[in-house]
């Protein structure tokens, strides 16, 4: 059944804003009206049109417009059915939960627009008006997500079911698994001396004096700031609220008045000088100059020598990789065994194309169980040395239960959850009031939403 997968895609969109973001010039031409009712929840024509415009703007059109709109409408019927049942089950979400999710989405919208002003200009609304219109949409989505989780929460899969699922896959449909790597790393961060720290502070102190004498803060940020993400914008960070920046940075920034420049602030990124641009409700916008103390050549060589010794101990089997990680690594994530985590899958397996080219060049030369020589890494303006460990490497192959059990297990579980949802829809349709207006009454639905 395609309903669940399609709905999950639609859930990632914001119903009202998705169409508005890409179709501002067209929205006034949409003639609104109720086109469907599920329980006591209505579906408006604009709901369908906005989602259609979003999909069209992304170039994802498959089939004719009427067919796609019917698919969108059917998935909206499913969402409203979930919402109706959530209301029947008295599922609730707190105002705090809604506000947190709304703040997350607002940050995303602002980042896409560039600045809060551009976002307001695009919608022709203030940030407060946008949030007020977004609030009910988010609450509905959170309720339907909770209802869906409730429906499938007891779905589980046994080893015998996994095997049965795998055996039913046609041989020509068994997925091909690319070569995968499991990679560990031990990081040694060179010590930064007091002299280097003081040099950075003295430079920032000088910048503050220059601003007080009339120099432009943003020009100094362009010329000297070592924050690549903001220096080209004169150090401007854009609107943010508490909880988004380093705690020390926020503590100083939120105390400032417009135009005021902070004292020197130290965070794990380095040393900052901050200037307040504006405060708008709970949001502020500042610009900053970041300087990162430079590591001396002596301390850099000490870090390299330490990892040389660690690598030799591992290769000579005088210490295991796991013990070496806990004893020598400066990586905050070392308690997870020092393994790199794939942000896409959430596990420790990487396909070749998902590995940074510099890292792949190193580990591709290793045999399973080997560690590399120390590698100098420059990341966010900081330098450290790392040794990489190749825990496992697989060859390209068709998925099998021996090597890919976890992947097949997940596919089997998803299939079972789809079946549970499928059965739930069939049952709930029988006892729920559903009305479909003429606009969509001739659609070829996957389900018999229209009762004869």
What is the DSSP annotation of 272-314? EEEEEEEEETTEEEEEEEEE-PPPPHHHHHHHHHHHHHHHHHH
Distances (CA, A) of 228 to 38, 39, 197, 331, 380: 51, 53, 20, 23, 8
b/e burial code for range 144-162 (CB count within 10 A of at least 16 → b): bbbbbeebbeeeebeeeeb
Instruction: Convert the pLDDT of each residue in 306-362 to its tens digit.
Output: 999 999 999 999 999 999 999 999 988 787 789 998 888 788 889 988 999 999 999
Query: Averaged over 409-429, what is the pLDDT?
Result: 92
How high is the pLDDT of residue 219?
A: 95
Domain 177-191+296-398 has CATH 3.10.50.40: yes
Q: Does residue 37 carry a pLDDT above 80?
A: yes
Quote the pTM value: 0.60
d(CA 393, CA 177): 12
Domains 177-191+296-398 and 194-291 share a fold: yes
3-state secondary structure of 374: coil
What is the fold of 194-291? Chitinase A; domain 3 (3.10.50)
Contact 313, 322 (CB under 8 A): no
Contact 76, 36 (CB under 8 A): yes
361's torsion region: left (phi>0), alpha (psi -120 to 50) or beta? alpha
CATH number for 3-157+413-440 (one of 3.40.640.10, 1.10.4030.10, 1.10.1200.10, 3.60.70.12): it is 1.10.4030.10
The residue ranges of every structural domain in the chain are 3-157+413-440, 177-191+296-398, 194-291
How high is the pLDDT of residue 62?
A: 66
């Amino acid at each position: 059944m395609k309903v669940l997968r399609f709905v999950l895609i639609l859930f990632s969109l914001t119903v009202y804003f998705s169409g508005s973001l890409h179709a501002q010039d067209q929205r006034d031409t949409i003639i609104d009206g109720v086109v469907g009712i599920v329980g006591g929840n209505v579906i408006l024509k604009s709901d369908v049109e906005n989602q259609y415009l979003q999909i069209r703007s992304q170039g994802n059109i498959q089939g004719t417009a009427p067919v796609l709109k019917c698919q969108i409408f059917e998935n909206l019927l499913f969402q409203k059915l979930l919402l109706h049942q959530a209301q029947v089950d008295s599922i609730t979400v707190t105002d705090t939960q809604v506000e947190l999710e709304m703040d997350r989405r607002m940050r995303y919208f602002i980042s896409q627009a560039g600045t809060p002003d551009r976002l307001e200009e695009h919608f022709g609304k203030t940030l407060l008006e946008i949030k007020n219109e977004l609030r009910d949409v988010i609450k509905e989505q959170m309720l339907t997500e909770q209802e869906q989780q409730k429906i499938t929460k007891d779905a589980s899969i046994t080893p015998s079911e996994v095997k049965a699922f795998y055996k039913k896959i046609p041989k020509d449909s068994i997925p091909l698994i690319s070569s995968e790597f499991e990679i560990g790393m031990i990081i040694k961060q060179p010590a930064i001396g007091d002299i280097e720290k003081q040099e950075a502070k003295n430079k920032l102190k000088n910048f503050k004096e220059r601003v007080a004498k009339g120099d432009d803060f943003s020009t100094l940020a362009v010329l000297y700031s070592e924050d690549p993400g903001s220096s080209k914008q004169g150090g401007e960070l854009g609107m943010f609220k508490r909880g988004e920046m380093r705690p020390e940075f926020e503590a100083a920034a939120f105390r400032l008045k417009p135009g005021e420049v902070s004292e020197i602030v130290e965070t794990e990124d380095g040393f900052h000088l901050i200037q307040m641009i504006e405060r708008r409700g709970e949001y502020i916008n500042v610009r900053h100059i970041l300087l990162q103390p430079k590591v001396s050549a002596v301390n850099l060589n000490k870090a390299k020598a330490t990892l040389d010794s660690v690598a030799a101990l591992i290769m000579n089997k005088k210490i295991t990789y796991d013990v070496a990680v806990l004893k020598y690594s400066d990586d905050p994530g070392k308690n997870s065994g020092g393994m790199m985590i794939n942000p896409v899958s959430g596990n420790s397996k990487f396909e070749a194309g998902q590995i940074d080219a510099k890292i792949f060049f190193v580990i591709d030369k290793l045999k399973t169980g080997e560690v590399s020589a120390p590698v100098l890494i420059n990341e966010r303006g900081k330098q450290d040395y790392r040794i990489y460990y190749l825990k496992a490497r697989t060859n390209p192959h068709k998925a099998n239960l021996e090597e890919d059990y976890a992947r097949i297990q997940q596919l089997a579980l998803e299939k079972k959850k789809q079946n549970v949802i499928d059965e739930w829809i069939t049952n709930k349709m029988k006892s729920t009031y559903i009305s479909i207006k003429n606009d969509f009454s001739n659609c070829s639905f996957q389900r018999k939403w229209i009762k004869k």
